[in-house]
Amino acid sequence: FLNRRGYTTALSCKTCGSFQQCPDCSAPSMTYHLGRNRLMCHLCGHMEAAPERCLACGSPTLEHGAAGTERVEVAIAAELPGVRVARLDRDTSRGRALLDVLGRFRRREIDVLIGTQMLSKGHDFPGVTLVGVLRADHGLGLPDFRAGERVFQLLTQVAGRAGRGDRPGRVAIQTWAPDHPAIRHARDHDFEGFAEQELAARTATGNPPIGHLALLRIMGEDRGRVEARARDLATFARDLVARMGGADAPVQILGPVDSPIERINRRHRMQILLRAHARGPLRWLLKHTRHRLGADAGGKSATIARVDVDPYGLL
């Protein structure tokens, strides 16, 4: 299991250190796909031919980043000739192709199945006795308070694919952070321990399920207009909060700030986070802010503001 599709996560220059980046997004790099010999942005879908030289300095010294499922498939096939290897990710398995791979694996026509998150949920493979997890800590560094929860959940689901038949199963986890609570508790099958530690952290910060959140997202192709609208919306919300009680108001406003992924598909993104201990004040604030949401005039320079109540992701 590796929750990264493609051959490698990046193509970078050893001479100047630059990465081949998507022209329409602010992701640090594009993913290299060996079968197509192309770079692809997994945020907006932009695709281009893989260059033979660095586009910044012209150097031919390009190197690949961390491995994806495609590279793992190639490596296993090379190291274990004769072993029947297949890959299950969005690049190889959609519709009937997905059902075909799953059917062949259940019939034991495949010895090693490599996959991403789509391999972890809802599949019953009685013959599987060994699950290997590569880069288990991928995702722990994301700027989202649920990052640890997602890693714990994913590891628990993946580990559950092993030993579902008559023979016991084993799980091997590769990680740089073996002592991180998400990985340590997943290794020990200790849901209660993880939940207790995570709830303590959420209590200290007021994040769900202790408190309640709403995310105001402002987007548009004109960076200046996005900033101006975000500032205006935040000022309006703070004026409303001041009427609730000033410093003791029941709603906290954080931002506006750039979204962690600042630009996707040519649209700049900023966000304002609203946090409250009770739903009532948050609902009141959103009710009186609603008329300022939606799209404004301006053609290609238009901005749009949306609200996500109880957001599951903050990226």
pLDDT in tens, 181-193: 999 999 999 999 9
Q: By three-state DSSP, how is residue 297 classified? A: coil
Say whether pTM exceeds 0.95.
Answer: no
Nearest by Cα to 112 from 129, 98, 96? 129
Give residue 31's pLDDT.
95
Q: Which fold has domain 212-309?
A: Alpha-Beta Plaits (3.30.70)
Residue 256: cis peptide before it, omega within 30 degrees of 0: yes
Cα–Cα distance between 262 and 28 in angstroms, integer? 11
Give residue 285's pLDDT.
94
Find the range with the poorest average confidence among 144-148, 158-162, 174-178, 272-276.
158-162
Give residue 248's pLDDT.
66
Whether 69-204 shares its CATH topology with 212-309 is answered no
Give residue 165's pLDDT.
63
* Bridge partners, residue 39, by sequence: 32, 48
Give residue 126's pLDDT.
77
Q: What is the mean pLDDT of residues 231-253?
A: 87
Residue 247 binned pLDDT confidence (cut-offs 50, 70, 90) = low
Give residue 120's pLDDT.
76
Q: By three-state DSSP, how is residue 151 classified? A: helix
What percentage of the chain exceeds 90 in pLDDT? 70
Which tens digit of pLDDT belongs to each residue from 170-214? 999 999 999 999 999 999 999 999 999 999 999 999 999 999 999
Residue 209: cis peptide before it, omega within 30 degrees of 0: yes
Cα–Cα distance between 128 and 210 in angstroms, integer? 39
What percentage of the chain exceeds 70 in pLDDT? 97
Residue 43 binned pLDDT confidence (cut-offs 50, 70, 90) = very high
Cα–Cα distance between 52 and 165 in angstroms, integer? 48
**Does the structure show a pLDDT above 80 at 281?**
yes
Cα–Cα distance between 188 and 184 in angstroms, integer? 6
Burial class (CB in 10 A: 0-12, 13-18, 19+), 145: middle
Burial class (CB in 10 A: 0-12, 13-18, 19+), 232: middle
Question: Angle at Cα 267 formed by Cα 264 and Cα 269, nearest 5°?
Answer: 80
| Domain layout of the chain by residue ranges | 69-204, 212-309
Handedness of CA 90, 93, 96, 98 (dihedral sign): negative
More confident residue, 111 or 298: 111
Task: Give residue 179's Cα distance to chain centre.
Answer: 22
Residue 300 binned pLDDT confidence (cut-offs 50, 70, 90) = confident
Kind and range of the H or E run holding 223: helix 223-245
Copy the structure tokens of residue 170: 């084993």
Q: What is the mean pLDDT of residues 94-110?
A: 87
The alpha-carbon radius of gyration of the chain (Å, integer) is 23
Mean pLDDT (the chain, rounded): 91
Q: Which residue bears the tokens 């274990």?
A: 80
Cα–Cα distance between 2 and 69 in angstroms, integer? 6
Q: Which fold has domain 69-204?
A: Rossmann fold (3.40.50)
